């Protein structure tokens, strides 16, 4: 089998391009501590990641404290902006893959707030990407297709030559809702069984495998 031709690779951010869960979890617990709410185990916070900051903090703050939510958002913003590059890095192999596809258009579509996204990409390598859309840019959150359709429109890419790379059911369902194929990654934060059930078009264990599949 030959390689699949692509003009546009759209990447999820957390759990796909970057290992960010440690900084997110630390900032959530700093926020809970400042609000004098009980801190949460790291593994529990990891499970909250992927649906955007509002849902992340709503789950962390808990249903018993809805009146603290706006305060939590404000406090978290300060902590996370200060700490979002403490331990966050591209996954091993990501930079090599991005350089390999230097001639293809590459974009980021993340449910993460664009403010945090821009700070992290500026610190790690924003030059790799022609376009970046975050969860608060007004196109909805994955699995809604809005941000993916917007990126394809802006970069004038056809659905049959566009692939979304992601680590969650939101990515797989979002890609299929946008009419594009999806390559799921097994090294991120997503639940493998749930991802498999969403029937991604490809499933890889290492970023370098992108170079074997696409051209």
pLDDT digits (tens, 9 = 90+) for 25-49: 999 999 999 999 999 999 999 988 8
Mean pLDDT value across residues 82-111: 98
In this predicted structure, what is the pLDDT of residue 65? 85
With CA atoms as reference, report the closest residue to 76 among 13, 24, 119: 24
Evaluate if residue 121 carries a pLDDT over 80. yes
Q: Contact, 19 vs 88, CB < 8 A?
A: yes
Q: Contact, 11 vs 108, CB < 8 A?
A: yes
Phi/psi class of residue 60: alpha, beta or left (left: φ > 0; alpha: ψ in -120 to 50)? alpha
Could you list the active site residues?
12
In this predicted structure, what is the pLDDT of residue 64? 87
Percent of the chain with pLDDT over 90: 92
Evaluate if residue 1 carries a pLDDT over 80. no
In this predicted structure, what is the pLDDT of residue 66? 84
pTM for this model (two decimals): 0.95
The CA-CA-CA angle for residues 68, 58, 150, to 5°, reads 125
CA distance 152 to 150: 6
């Amino acid at each position: 089998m030959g390689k699949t031709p692509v003009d546009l690779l759209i990447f999820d951010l957390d759990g796909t391009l970057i290992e960010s869960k440690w900084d997110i979890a630390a900032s959530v617990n700093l926020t809970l501590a400042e609000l004098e709410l009980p801190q949460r185990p790291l593994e529990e916070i990891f499970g909250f990641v992927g649906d955007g900051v509002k849902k992340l903090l709503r789950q962390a703050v808990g249903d018993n404290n809805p009146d603290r939510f706006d305060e939590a958002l404000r406090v978290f913003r300060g902590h996370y902006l200060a700490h979002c590059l403490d331990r966050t890095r591209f996954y091993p192999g990501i930079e090599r893959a991005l350089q390999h596809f230097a001639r293809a258009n590459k974009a980021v579509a993340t449910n993460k707030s664009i403010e945090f996204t821009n700070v992290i990409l500026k610190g790690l390598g924003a030059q790799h990407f022609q376009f970046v859309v975050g969860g608060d840019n007004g196109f909805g959150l994955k699995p809604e297709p809005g941000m993916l359709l917007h990126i394809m429109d802006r970069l004038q890419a056809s659905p049959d030559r566009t692939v979304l790379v992601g680590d969650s059911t939101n990515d797989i369902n979002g890609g299929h809702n946008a009419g594009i194929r999806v390559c799921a990654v097994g090294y991120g934060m997503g639940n493998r069984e749930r991802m498999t059930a969403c029937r991604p078009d490809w499933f890889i264990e290492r970023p370098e495998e992108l170079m074997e599949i696409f051209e």
